[in-house]
Amino acid sequence: MSIKRMADLDLSGKRVLIRQDLNVPVKDGKVTSDIRIRASIPTIEQALGKGAGVILMSHLGRPVEGEYNTEYSLRPVADRLAELLGQPVRLEKQWLDGVVVNPGEVVLCENVRFNAGEKKNHAELGRKMAALCDIFVMDAFGTAHRAQASTHSVAQYAPTACAGPLLAKELDALGQALDNPKRPLMAIVGGSKVSTKLTVLESLSKKVDQLIVGGGIANTFIAAMGFNVGKSLYEEDLIAQAKKLIAEAKVAGGEIPIPVDVICAKEFSETAAATVKNVADVADDDMILDIGPQTAAQYAQQISSAGTIVWNGPVGVFEIAQFGAGTQSLAEAIADSSAFSIAGGGDTLAAIDKYGIKEKISYTSTGGGAFLEFLEGKELPAVAILRNKA
């Protein structure tokens, strides 16, 4: 890879701007899963060790652009970073017009998505970010599939742009693992964003031996098989696509199984009563919020005989106890399996954390969408710009 790497550059006395993916779940002002923050620490320590003044950028969630919103503040992230680094991390609310940073210091810029033009990759915004530094380090693998001002435009205008150690490690590890996977190759793709994962599903359905779908995605497949999904989250206009995917998987010798039983509730809440139902018995006022025990056992069985497992997305609303059993059972089956397992995605990492199986996953990626686009074989735009620069 003809990309400059941070490890090869002289950072001494330099202002080093590092784009990280510190987009982590936050509840009541506290970080609830810090895997991404912990993954960013070695990069920061390496830059500090080389004598740099470190300026960090990240997004958090999807706030309305152009306005500050406490709910999406990086404050909890700054606090956790400071704890892990054992040194102060100064959170700067106003940073676009300049940041003072001395060698050995760490400054965290408030949520990049509070700036108008971030998501549209505005050149002017990228120029301002670039002006903060001598060297720009792209280390946010989890956001490398986004061409946004803080991942793309900034790299274009920075005096020097390079890949950080985390980004480099992710690209190397995933590339190696997927080059020649041990079969059967199984992918588990869950989560609520059906339409956003369609191209990934298209590509995976042709490559893998088994594709297990979960969450809102599974509901669309359940509907495609002619079952009632009641009030469940699903996408009616994607039913035809789902049918096509099932057919394509068959042609390629694979399969996309549909849950035989599901966990339903009448409302989406922490106190909702959970009922196990056969997939054919879902009522008009039901919401499917997890896979049922029989389905979980069947998937666990398939997982146990896989050679390689790629996991992105929970299969149920695991944040709520009574809808978490399906995801927990899958997580434990993956942990117990002898397959080479790769997991990625914000919710997936949170589930891995929750069920305490991190040590039993062969490789945990900090990427969600980026991880999936990498699996699809797409070049990530934030990596492409580094290549162009080099």
List residues near ligand 3PG by CB under 6 A. 21, 23, 62, 142-143, 146, 346, 368-369
Distance (Å, rounded) from C-alpha 217 to C-alpha 324? 17
Q: What residues pair up with 19 in beta bridges, in sequence order?
A: 57, 138
Nearer to ligand 3PG, 92 or 118 (CB): 118
Nearer to Mg ion, 181 or 369 (CB): 369
Q: What residues pair up with 54 in beta bridges, in sequence order?
A: 16, 106
369 has catalytic annotation: yes
Distance (Å, rounded) from C-alpha 304 to C-alpha 333? 7
How many CA atoms does the CB half-sphere of 297 hold within 13 Å?
5
75 has catalytic annotation: no
* Residue 146 contact, options Mg ion, ligand 3PG, none, Cβ 5-8 Å cut-off depending on partner type: ligand 3PG
Tally of CB atoms within 10 A around 280? 12
Tally of CB atoms within 10 A around 373? 20
Residue nearest to Mg ion (CB): 368
Distance (Å, rounded) from C-alpha 41 to C-alpha 81? 8
Tally of CB atoms within 10 A around 239? 16
* Residue 308 contact, options Mg ion, ligand 3PG, none, Cβ 5-8 Å cut-off depending on partner type: none
To the nearest whole angstrom, how small is the minimum distance from the Cβ of residue 349 to ligand 3PG? 9
To the nearest whole angstrom, how small is the minimum distance from the Cβ of residue 143 to ligand 3PG? 5
Distance (Å, rounded) from C-alpha 105 to C-alpha 83? 14
Beta strand 340-343 with 363-364 is: parallel
Give me the catalytic one of 53, 324, 346, 368. Answer: 346
Distance (Å, rounded) from C-alpha 261 to C-alpha 277? 6
To the nearest whole angstrom, how small is the minimum distance from the Cβ of residue 293 to ligand 3PG? 30
Give me the catalytic one of 36, 80, 128, 207. Answer: 36
346 has catalytic annotation: yes
Nearer to Mg ion, 204 or 349 (CB): 349
**Angle (nearest 5°) at CA 11 between 14 and 16:** 55
Tally of CB atoms within 10 A around 293? 14
To the nearest whole angstrom, how small is the minimum distance from the Cβ of residue 145 to ligand 3PG? 8
Site string for Mg ion, 348-377 (x = CB under 5 A): --------------------x---------
* Residue 142 contact, options ligand 3PG, Mg ion, none, Cβ 5-8 Å cut-off depending on partner type: ligand 3PG
Counting contacts by CB under 5 A, is residue 215 touching Mg ion? Answer: no
Nearer to ligand 3PG, 259 or 369 (CB): 369
H or E stretch at 216: helix 215-224
216 has catalytic annotation: no
Nearer to ligand 3PG, 142 or 292 (CB): 142
Spatial neighbors of 74 by CB under 8 A, at least 6 apart, are: 22, 58, 60, 91, 108, 109, 110, 111
* Residue 313 contact, options ligand 3PG, Mg ion, none, Cβ 5-8 Å cut-off depending on partner type: none
* Residue 23 contact, options ligand 3PG, Mg ion, none, Cβ 5-8 Å cut-off depending on partner type: ligand 3PG
* Residue 324 contact, options Mg ion, ligand 3PG, none, Cβ 5-8 Å cut-off depending on partner type: none
To the nearest whole angstrom, how small is the minimum distance from the Cβ of residue 23 to ligand 3PG? 3
Nearer to Mg ion, 76 or 313 (CB): 313
Give me the catalytic one of 193, 354, 360, 378. Answer: 193
Nearer to Mg ion, 368 or 381 (CB): 368
Distance (Å, rounded) from C-alpha 23 to C-alpha 27? 13
To the nearest whole angstrom, how small is the minimum distance from the Cβ of residue 310 to ligand 3PG? 16
Distance (Å, rounded) from C-alpha 254 to C-alpha 213? 13
* Residue 21 contact, options ligand 3PG, Mg ion, none, Cβ 5-8 Å cut-off depending on partner type: ligand 3PG
Token representation of residue 55: 């300026």
To the nearest whole angstrom, how small is the minimum distance from the Cβ of residue 271 to ligand 3PG? 28
The interaxial angle of helices 165-179 and 35-49, nearest 10 deg, is 120
* Cβ–Cβ < 8 Å for 265, 287: yes
* Cβ–Cβ < 8 Å for 213, 256: yes
Residues annotated as catalytic are 36, 193, 346, 369
Q: Which residues would be at the binding site for Mg ion (CB under 5 A)?
A: 368
